[in-house]
Structure 1
Amino acid sequence: MNAPKPPQAHWRKSTYSGAHENECVEVADLNDRIAIRDSKAPHTGHLALTRQDFATLLTHLTSKP
């Protein structure tokens, strides 16, 4: 039995990642999930969160000084 093929990810760099900065994050919409990966090492995999968990993560991160 074959596993279903994951949707094609269209990665985009975070608007907070500058052109010359070393800390770049990319995100992709995977239909029911949002994927996050390190743009410098895309081959190492990604973290996939539900849309609700991604929103919670963003709220948490933006509330920090």
Structure 2
Amino acid sequence: MIDRHDVDVSHIDWRKSSYSTGQGENCVEVARMDSHVAVRDSKCPDGPIVILRHQEWNAFLAKIR
């Protein structure tokens, strides 16, 4: 995992989960960057961001499937 201060996330394009409800509750937002993937809670966009390398993200997705 990468420290969020090492990656500029100020102008990335966030996408909300397709499983999101209309009220926007319990949602995850993901932003793909050149060499990283950023993940955050849509209810708290200024809160913590998890930043993963693409390999880490792919391994995470493989585990949850």
Question: What is the TM-score with the length of structure 1 in the denominator?
Answer: 0.76
Show structure 2 runs of 5+ residues with no match: 1-5
- Structure number with bigger Rg: 1
Q: Name structure 1 gaps, 5 residues minimum.
A: none
Q: How big is the alpha-carbon RMSD for the aligned residues of Structure 1 and Structure 2?
A: 2.0
Identity of aligned residues (%): 34
Matched, 1:16 2:57: no
- Where 1:43 maps in the other structure, the secondary structure is coil
Relative contact order, higher structure (CA 8 A, sep 6+): 2
* Structure 1 counterpart of 2:51: 48
Count the aligned residue pairs.
Answer: 59
Task: Give the 3-state SS of the residue equivalent to 2:57 in structure 1.
Answer: helix
TM-score by length of 2: 0.76
